[in-house]
Structure 1
Amino acid sequence: GAWDMLRAYWDMRKANYKGADKYFHARGNYDAAQRGPGGAWAAKVISDARESWQSDMSGRGAEDTRADQEANAWGRNGGD
C-alpha cells in the first residue's frame, strides 16, 4: 500500500511532466488498492493526509485538492 503510493510519487517526480499528477494520484491509489482492503485503507489514509497538508500549506487551492481526491478515489475504485 504505502510503497505503491511512494513509487507513484517517485515516478511522477522522475517524469516531471506538467499536468500528469492526476494520473500518478490514480495509479498510486490503484496499485495500493489491488493489494486488498489494507492497501485500499492505506491509500485513503495517505491520500487524505497528503491532500490536507497540501491544501493547508502549499496554497494550491480547493479546486486542485478536489481534483486530486477525485483521481485518488478513481484509482482506488479500479479506474484506469
Structure 2
Amino acid sequence: MRLCICFVLLSIVLYASADNPFSSGFRFVKDAAGGARDMWRAYRDMREANYIGADKYFHARGNYDAARRGPGGAWAAKDGGWQRGSGVSGRGAEDTRLDQEANEWGRRGGDPNRYRPAGLPNKY
C-alpha cells in the first residue's frame, strides 16, 4: 500500500511539473495531495468498517471528497484512484463496473449516501 501512495504522490509531482493547464500553480499540487488523502481515508475507513455492501459508498465518498477540492483533487480522484484501468475488483467484472459507476458518481458531485447501506455506523 505504501508503494501505491508513493506512486500517487510521484505522479502528482510529475503531472504538476508537466506542460499542462494546471501546472502553473501550487494550488493544483496541494489539491491533488489533499485528494489523494481523501481517497486514502475512504479506503482506510472501508477496511476498518468491514461492512458488507458498503464498498460502493466508500468509492463514491472518496471520489466525492477528492473532487470537491478542485482540479487537483479531481485529478487525484480520476487518475490516482483505486481500481483504475482494466483491472477487476476481485469480485468479477460486474462488481468492478458498479465500483466504477460509484467512483464516477462521486467525482461528478453526486451524494455518496446514494450507495450507503442501511446499518453502516454513523462514524462513516
Query: Which TM-score bucket, shorter chain as reference?
Result: 0.7 to 0.9
TM-score (normalizing by structure 2): 0.57
Listed as ranges, the gaps of 5+ residues in structure 1 are none
Superposition misfits of 4+ residues, deviation over 4 angstroms? none
Name the one with the larger helix percent: 1
Is 1:65 paired with 2:96? yes
Cα distance in 2 between the residues matched to 1:60 and 1:51: 15
Greater Rg, structure 1 or structure 2?
2
Q: Name the structure, 1 or 2, with higher relative contact order (CA <8 Å, separation 6+).
A: 1
Listed as ranges, the gaps of 5+ residues in structure 2 are 1-34, 112-124
TM-score (normalizing by structure 1): 0.86
Confirm or deny: 8 A CA contact 1:9 1:24 kept in the other structure: yes
Pick the aligned partner of 2:83 from 26, 50, 61: 50
Residues 27-38 of structure 1: matches in 2 within 5 Å?
Answer: 27-38=61-72
Identity of counterpart residues, as a percentage?
A: 75
Amino acid at match of 1:25: H
